[in-house]
Amino acid sequence: MLSIQGLVKKFGGLTAINNVSFEIEKGELSSIIGPNGAGKTTLFNLITGHLRPDSGKVIFNSKDITTLPPHEICRLGIGRSFQRTNIFPRLSVFDNVQAAVLAGQGRCTNIVSFSKNLCREETFHVLEMVELGDKKGFPAGLLSHGDQKRLEIGIALALQPSLLLLDEPTAGMGPEETAGIADLIYKLVRHQGLTAVFVEHDMSVVFGISQKIRVMHLGEIIATGTPADIKGDAQVQRIYLGEE
């Protein structure tokens, strides 16, 4: 589904991503772990068009998307949630999700439709998934941190992506909220046929739901495998898990 081929990205003298290649299969739920500064977010930025690689290719459903702008990549079906909450603060929770539903369906060019009545069902469906139905009228900027993270994921889901990239979906959440998000991601992949990749620091989530784990260190992928493989990998133990 997604094929990363020899990606390289340098910032000045620093090589943030160094010859990274991997494949993501349809229906896969995988995670990327690694210490801070390993290049995880940069990798997401390269895939979603926020940054352009110095060399290498990103192929999505056998289409080369390496040089496409973010909005076009998004319309091809790659949704993304952000590490720092990245929502539309003064709009209501409902409007946040509805805007994404409308944009995802390419209906935002319609200049005469009365938007209040558009796509209500789809919007409520997403709000229910992320359990924000009762807060639909709230200005999004006033939600608690945990709810903003949920909304963040809701906006990404509203686009009905086929591939979802989640950057630290549970960062800053309490244990209960974290479990809720992990459960949501698991269900989406299992029951709705989504493909998801997430970056995460919470090892209980990573080892709890990932089918495959990739470990990044200094811009390179140093190990790939099932949770059991990764747990037993001596190099990973030394540079990453051992530190914690």
Partner 1 sequence: MVLAVGLFASMPTFIDTSWISVFCEILILTVAASGLNLMMGYTGMISFGPAGLYAVGAYTTGILIVRAGAPFGLAMIAGPIVATVVSLIVGWFCVRRTAVYFALLTLAFSELIHTVIFKWYGFTKGDDGIVDIPLPDFLSSIDSYYYFTLACTVVCLLAMWIIVNSAFGKALQVIRENPNRAEFIGINVRKYQLVAFVIQGFFLGAAGSLLCGFSHSVFPTNAHWTKSIDIIIACLLGGIYHFYGPFVGSAVYILLDKVITSFTEYWSLFFGVVLLILVLFFRGGIAGFVSERLSSVTHEGS
Which spans of this chain sit near partner 1 (rule: CB under 8 A)?
48, 50, 69-72, 74-75, 80, 82, 86-91, 95, 98-100, 102-104, 106-116, 118, 155, 158-159
Beta bridge partner(s), residue 11: 14
Q: How far is the CB of 95 from partner 1 (least distance, A)?
A: 7
Q: Residue 191, SS3?
A: helix
Residue ranges of alpha helices (H) inside 5-159 are 40-47, 70-75, 93-104, 120-129, 145-158
Q: How far is the CB of 18 from partner 1 (least distance, A)?
A: 25
Task: Give whichever of 112 and 234 is closer to partner 1, judged by the CB atom.
Answer: 112
What token pair was written down for 163? 């591939």
| Inter-helix orientation angle 145-158/93-104, to 10° | 20
Task: Give whichever of 16 and 68 is closer to partner 1, judged by the CB atom.
Answer: 68
Q: How far is the CB of 176 from partner 1 (least distance, A)?
A: 27
Neighbours of 141 (CB within 10 A): 12
Task: Give whichever of 63 and 107 is closer to partner 1, judged by the CB atom.
Answer: 107
Q: How far is the CB of 114 from partner 1 (least distance, A)?
A: 6
Task: Give whichever of 93 and 236 is closer to partner 1, judged by the CB atom.
Answer: 93
Task: Give whichever of 47 and 213 is closer to partner 1, judged by the CB atom.
Answer: 47
Beta-carbon contacts of residue 230 (< 8 Å; ≥ 6 apart):
213, 215, 223, 236
Q: How far is the CB of 5 from partner 1 (least distance, A)?
A: 23
Round to whole Å and give the CA distance between 206 and 192: 20
- The C-alpha angle 240, 243, 244, rounded to 5 degrees, equals 100
